[in-house]
């Protein structure tokens, strides 16, 4: 039986038995079949503050600015994200557009001015917002979500081999809200065990399947947890190198845990 299936069975059994969040997370990590990938995941979680600190919190709220770098000048949009990793729920608010998106892992609903909309452009945009909030805001704790599978795929060397990144390929065969063709590679710096880069190929707007490198920089400490507050999105070539200047930047202006919904 595949490790992902075993993981799902273990999780259901733990949930039925009333086990703690820490038990559930540990069971998911223990179900990772690639031993080297599992070791890297554990080291990374400890380097960012450990699972003990993450499981103490019910949700994560952030005020962010999404910046699109255009030839005639940058376009910035302020948003508020609320991520509940335990219920697999995300709320994204775009105050200037009076728009709210609600995601439960299976679907995304979009409201404009308090009324639900079926507008495809708004729904596509909201799906991209949800993807960012769900996967990158709690990184690397988002890698403990249910249904993920991992494979160690070697290292990447920096200039003059001064830096080394260990690379994990993430697939979503058993994860709700993801497609089978979604692609993510997480690059963990070997000397610090921090997540420096994430290579993504996501179908949602504005990415629409284009391979991109996300550089995660300017780390801050919040209640003993390390979170990146600047993400730069670079288009990449077939080797994974940045092909030009960043297309988008996300700036996390503030973060708080356990916000009231």
Answer with the residue of higher pLDDT: 31 or 174: 31
Query: Phi then psi for 159, rounded to 5 degrees?
Result: -55, 135
The gap from C-alpha 73 to its chain's centroid, in whole angstroms, comes to 28
Query: Under 8 Å CB-to-CB from 88, ≥6 apart: which residues?
Result: 104, 105, 145, 146, 176, 177
The residue behind tokens 């769900």 is 134
Q: How confident is the model at residue 180 (pLDDT cuts 50, 70, 90)?
A: confident
∠ CA 109-115-116, nearest 5°, is 25
Q: Give per-residue pLDDT as tens, 119-171.
A: 999 999 999 999 999 999 999 999 999 889 999 999 999 876 789 999 999 99
Helix, strand, coil % in the chain, rounded to nearest 5: 25, 40, 35
Q: Give per-residue pLDDT as tens, 186-244.
A: 999 999 999 999 999 888 888 888 999 999 999 989 989 999 999 999 998 776 676 67
Query: Under 8 Å CB-to-CB from 120, ≥6 apart: which residues?
Result: none
How far separated are the first and last CA of the chain, in Å rounded?
39
Q: Give per-residue pLDDT as tens, 50-69.
A: 889 999 999 999 999 999 99
Work out the mean pLDDT of the chain and round it to a whole number.
88
Neighbour tally for 74: CB within 10 Å:
10
Distance CA 49, CA 222 (A): 9
Q: Give per-residue pLDDT as tens, 82-94.
A: 999 988 899 999 9
Answer with the residue of higher pLDDT: 173 or 133: 133
Q: Which tokens go with 166? A: 């260990």
Q: What is the pLDDT of residue 172?
A: 86
Neighbour tally for 189: CB within 10 Å:
18
Distance CA 70, CA 206 (A): 14
Q: At what angle do helices 21-30 and 35-47 cross, to 10 degrees?
A: 140
Distance CA 230, CA 207 (A): 18
Does 5 have pLDDT greater than 60? no
Structural domain spans, the chain? 3-257
Query: Under 8 Å CB-to-CB from 18, ≥6 apart: which residues?
Result: none
Does 24 have pLDDT greater than 80? yes
Q: Does residue 6 contact residue 29 with C-beta atoms inside 8 Å?
A: no
Name the 3-class secondary structure at 197. strand
**Which residues sit opposite 227 in a β-bridge?**
220
Q: What is the pLDDT of residue 175?
A: 72
CATH topology of domain 3-257: outer membrane lipoprotein receptor (LolB), chain A (2.50.20)
Q: What is the pLDDT of residue 105?
A: 82
């Amino acid at each position: 039986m595949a490790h992902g299936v075993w993981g799902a069975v273990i999780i259901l059994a733990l949930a039925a038995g009333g086990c703690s969040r820490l038990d559930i997370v540990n069971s998911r990590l223990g179900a990772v079949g690639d031993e080297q990938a599992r070791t890297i995941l554990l080291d990374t979680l400890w380097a960012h503050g450990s699972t003990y600190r993450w499981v103490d919190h019910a949700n994560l709220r952030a005020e962010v600015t999404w910046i699109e770098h255009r030839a005639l000048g940058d376009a910035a949009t302020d948003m508020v994200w609320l991520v509940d990793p335990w219920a697999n729920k995300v709320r994204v608010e775009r105050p200037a557009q009076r728009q709210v998106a609600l995601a439960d892992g299976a679907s995304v609903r979009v409201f404009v001015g308090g009324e639900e909309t079926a507008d495809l452009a708004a729904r596509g945009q909201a799906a991209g917002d949800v993807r960012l909030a769900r996967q990158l805001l709690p990184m690397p704790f988002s890698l403990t979500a249910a249904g993920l599978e991992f494979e160690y795929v070697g290292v990447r060397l920096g200039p003059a081999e001064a830096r080394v990144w260990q690379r994990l390929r993430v697939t979503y065969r058993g994860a709700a809200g993801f497609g089978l063709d979604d692609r993510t590679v997480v690059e963990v710096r070997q000397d610090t065990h921090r997540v420096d880069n994430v290579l993504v190929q996501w179908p949602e707007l504005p990415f629409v399947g284009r391979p991109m490198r996300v550089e995660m920089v300017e780390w801050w400490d919040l209640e003993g947890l390390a979170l990146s507050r600047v993400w730069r999105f670079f288009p990449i070539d077939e080797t994974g190198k940045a092909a030009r200047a960043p297309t988008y930047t996300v700036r996390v202006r503030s973060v708080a845990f356990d916000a009231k919904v």
